[in-house]
Structure 1
Amino acid sequence: MTEARAASAPTVLRVVLGRRLQDLRERAGLSYEQAARALDVTHATVRRIEKAEVGLRIPYVEKLLLTYGVTAPAEIANFLELAREANRPGWWHRFRDVLPEWFSAFVSLEGSAELIRAYEPHYVPGLLQTPQYAEAVLRAGRPHASQEEIERGVALRMQRQALLTRDDPPLLWVVLDETVLRRPIGGPEVMRRQIDRLIEACGMPQVRLQVMPFASGPHPAMYGPFHIFRFPLPELPDIAYAESLIGAVYLDEREDVSRFREALDRMSAQALPAGPTREFLEEARDRL
């Protein structure tokens, strides 16, 4: 993934296999042009395969493996089976009618990460939203959507939350701006239930939640929300994500991601620790 909008929404496995093909090509000492000649395609096609911008065509993958010196039948068969799996649509594909293509990549990254760090200055992150709060957020963001579309969007958001209760959940570490607790979304009762959900999340071992109160003053990420994903797979670097009204950027260059990581590190030191965060949430709920 790069700084460009993730138009093709690759699954994480497709990204990994693309990087493995790149590594095999480079170890074989072949250029894009030389690899492309083996497939009778342009060098841009090979580049796009490696960057997970296109699907993994099985005949192409098999030919590339042989060109790169991979000849063991079992090794080839295993790689091709992974390629077939990578080409299968993710579970979220059935929500494609309400899921923007650029956000599909986010759902894939989210489900494969071992650590998800985020700063959110506007609303509760989707993984911690109640259904009622999620509906209010979606209605605000999509004022022309039908009731069915809103309900489908809520269902997608609730299914994403299943990763927090699976056998190997990622660590979710969120810095939440006080603005999130002050902005009335869905009315007092919806906000009370949502804050109760956050208080409950404070007790989950796989969730680390911190509030950044107004009293803490300025901080390094006052420009907007973002996420950082870390993966257990050696082929994948940390990836930073930021979105706008019409798309998103996915950054994986070390220098770019390090700036986001440094900002979050500073903010985590500046925000309230776990105990005071829970107390802050309880006080915010009592004010409603």
Structure 2
Amino acid sequence: MADLRSGGGAPTVLRVVLGRRLQQLREKSGLSYEEAGHALDVTHATVRRMEKAEVGLRIPYVEKLLRTYGVTESEEIEGFVSLAREANQPGWWHRYRDVLPEWFSAFVSLESESELIRAYEPHYVPGLLQTSRYARAVLRSGMPHAPEEEIERQVALRLERQAVLGRAEPPLVWIVIDETVLRRSIGGREVMAEQIEHLIKATELPYVNLQIMPYSAGSHPAMYGPFHLFRFPVEELPDVACTENLVGAAYYDQREDVSAFLEALDRMCGQAAPLNRTAGLLNALRKEI
């Protein structure tokens, strides 16, 4: 997996995929990093970094490596090169690099290209389901000294992230939120009423599953904090889990680590209110507000 915390901008998922395919071709050909680097007249570290998507895919290098690895069909080479050019294009989030921390650009990259997004959130409504006014209130509380222009740029970024839900084939979004999320007043009564109404409409979408963890459920497997899990429509990429903190994030793609997050989510889904009760709980809360 690419080092998602490395400099130079988070790689697109396609670049990660192509890096893995280059690794598979190199290993199939029986060549070492050093031998592949010798073919390019570069160090073995350059080949390693290409495979891990830590650098862009230089087209002359890609063409030379494919031939070195025994790929001879011109159509296959042209197809790979075409994908490499596409992968080298910065993601849409690059437009927000003035307000987007490096660690979070990796998150947005994963979110944008997932086919399944699962999450647990104990503090606030996840970004994909926030209204603009709720998002503004959350951002202002977390960035009390930021100028208004920066807050508005952050709101615009958050709303553009939500475009993933409008794709022709949107990801399945399955989120468990604490009851606390709905009872903590963020932005005032009007903002919360609007936000809850937005969640009610979201639950009507066939690709959004929202469950509420009630106070009465007691302790559960993820009381240590929020996390996300991403799954992709390409076999080369493993599931990736992400945990956030005040100054960054940690990403996990090792099977044993991701399995722990998956197990916690599955257990929480069993403890939380069933999906068919979510709309009723939200409507009842809306009346309270």
TM-score under structure 1 length normalisation: 0.96
Shift of the 6–239 alpha-carbon distance from structure 1 to 2, 3 Å rule, reads farther
CA distances 1:58-105 after superposition (whole Å, capped 9, x unpaired)? 111111111111121111111111111111111111111111121112
Alignment match, 2:262:
261
Paired with 1:3 and 1:131, the residues of 2 have a C-alpha distance of: 32
Q: Does 1:116 align with 2:120?
A: no
Paired with 1:242 and 1:81, the residues of 2 have a C-alpha distance of: 34
Paired with 1:80 and 1:249, the residues of 2 have a C-alpha distance of: 32
Does the CA contact (< 8 Å) of 2:2 and 2:53 recur in 1?
no
Alignment match, 1:46:
47
Paired with 2:3 and 2:81, the residues of 1 have a C-alpha distance of: 29
Alignment match, 1:245:
246
SS at match of 2:251: strand
Does the CA contact (< 8 Å) of 2:229 and 2:241 recur in 1?
yes
SS at match of 2:187: coil
Does the CA contact (< 8 Å) of 1:175 and 1:268 recur in 2?
yes
Which amino acid counterpart does residue 171 of structure 1 have in structure 2? Answer: L
Q: CA RMSD in A?
A: 1.3
Alignment match, 2:276:
275
| Structure 1 residue 179, shift from structure 2 partner | 1.3
> Within 5 A, what are the aligned runs for 1:6-45?
6-7=6-7, 8-45=9-46
CA distances 1:188-224 after superposition (whole Å, capped 9, x unpaired)? 1101100111111111101000000111010001111
Which amino acid counterpart does residue 251 of structure 2 have in structure 1? Answer: Y
Percent sequence identity over aligned pairs: 69
Which amino acid counterpart does residue 284 of structure 1 have in structure 2? Answer: L
Which amino acid counterpart does residue 272 of structure 2 have in structure 1? Answer: A
Paired with 2:249 and 2:60, the residues of 1 have a C-alpha distance of: 32
Shift of the 277–97 alpha-carbon distance from structure 1 to 2, 3 Å rule, reads same
Paired with 1:43 and 1:247, the residues of 2 have a C-alpha distance of: 30
| Structure 1 residue 284, shift from structure 2 partner | 2.0
Paired with 1:61 and 1:143, the residues of 2 have a C-alpha distance of: 46
SS at match of 2:258: helix
Paired with 2:150 and 2:207, the residues of 1 have a C-alpha distance of: 31
Q: Which of the pair has the greater relative contact order for Cα pairs under 8 Å at 6+ separation?
A: 1
Number of residue pairs matched?
288
SS at match of 2:223: coil
Does the CA contact (< 8 Å) of 2:129 and 2:162 recur in 1?
yes
Q: Does 1:5 align with 2:41?
A: no
Paired with 1:194 and 1:252, the residues of 2 have a C-alpha distance of: 33
> Within 5 A, what are the aligned runs for 1:84-163?
84-163=85-164
SS at match of 2:229: strand
Does the CA contact (< 8 Å) of 2:4 and 2:10 recur in 1?
no
Farther-moved stretch of structure 1 (219-228 vs 244-253): 244-253
Moved over 6 A (4+): none
Shift of the 86–160 alpha-carbon distance from structure 1 to 2, 3 Å rule, reads same
Paired with 1:232 and 1:4, the residues of 2 have a C-alpha distance of: 19
| Structure 1 residue 3, shift from structure 2 partner | 7.4
CA distances 1:117-138 after superposition (whole Å, capped 9, x unpaired)? 0000111011000000000111
